[in-house]
Amino acid sequence: MARFRFCPNCGVTLSLDEQPQVCGGCGAEHYEHSYPCAGALLVKNGQLLLVRRGIEPYKGCWDIPGGFLEAGEHPEDGAVREVEEETGLKVRLRGFFGAYIDTYGQGGDYTLNLFYLAEPIGGEPRPASDAQELAWFPPDGLPEPLAFSHIRQVLEDWRASQSPTMRSVESHRR
């Protein structure tokens, strides 16, 4: 997890062992936090679009289109932007799907991952430079291996939401 070695306010050396990190020079408190991410479950004809990652972490594994939010960016805008960047498709968000906590790779920084349901409204599907391929999958034919542990939970929740008896998706707290 990312921790400051030096206080960004005054430059005094900080202890890596305490949380929050408290600066002995200026008294500033530095908290570890989750990095916000947004993505979209892009559904067409009952199938879900997934991206095979072309970069680490989890190169070669299947992922939901999404990524880190830019500073000050609303999660809905970030989800739309990330889907277009990664897939070439323009989308319309249909609603919020869920929030999931994870880390960015083994031992990486914490991430807060916000997912939306979306439908394609234009563009031509094409994998971005950081993706190996795009593919559509039915709820009962989702691929392996998957990137990130939260992706498995999101896909399980999506699969359950496709059941005729499913009324709502429950929140998952870890």
pLDDT tens for each residue of 105-139: 988 899 999 999 999 999 999 999 999 999 999 99
* pLDDT value of residue 2: 57
pLDDT digit string, tens, across residues 19-35: 899 999 999 998 888 99
Number of domains in the chain: 2
Range of the domain at 42: 35-161
Do 22 and 65 share a domain, yes or no?
no
Q: Is residue 101 domain-resident?
A: yes
Q: Is residue 68 domain-resident?
A: yes
Do 51 and 63 share a domain, yes or no?
yes
Compute the distance between CA of residue 102 and CA of residue 114 in angstroms, rounded to an integer.
11
Compute the distance between CA of residue 115 and CA of residue 130 in angstroms, rounded to an integer.
20
* Nearest Cα residue to 49 out of 102, 89, 105: 89
- The answer to whether the beta carbons of residues 135 and 63 sit under 8 Å apart is no
Do 96 and 25 share a domain, yes or no?
no
Q: Is residue 170 domain-resident?
A: no
With 0-12 CB in 10 A as exposed, 13-18 as middle and 19+ as buried, what is 168? exposed
Our CA angle for 153, 70, 106, nearest 5°, is: 40
CATH number at 154 reads 3.90.79.10
Question: Using CA of residue 54, residue 60, residue 65, residue 68, what is the dihedral sign?
Answer: negative
Do 6 and 72 share a domain, yes or no?
no
Average pLDDT in the 43-51 region? 97
Compute the distance between CA of residue 98 and CA of residue 169 in angstroms, rounded to an integer.
8
* pLDDT value of residue 167: 41
**Which tokens in the block code for residue 37?**
């991410």
Do 17 and 41 share a domain, yes or no?
no
Question: Collapsing DSSP states into helix, strand and coil, what is residue 64?
Answer: coil
* pLDDT value of residue 165: 62
Compute the distance between CA of residue 166 and CA of residue 9 in angstroms, rounded to an integer.
50
166 has a pLDDT exceeding 90: no
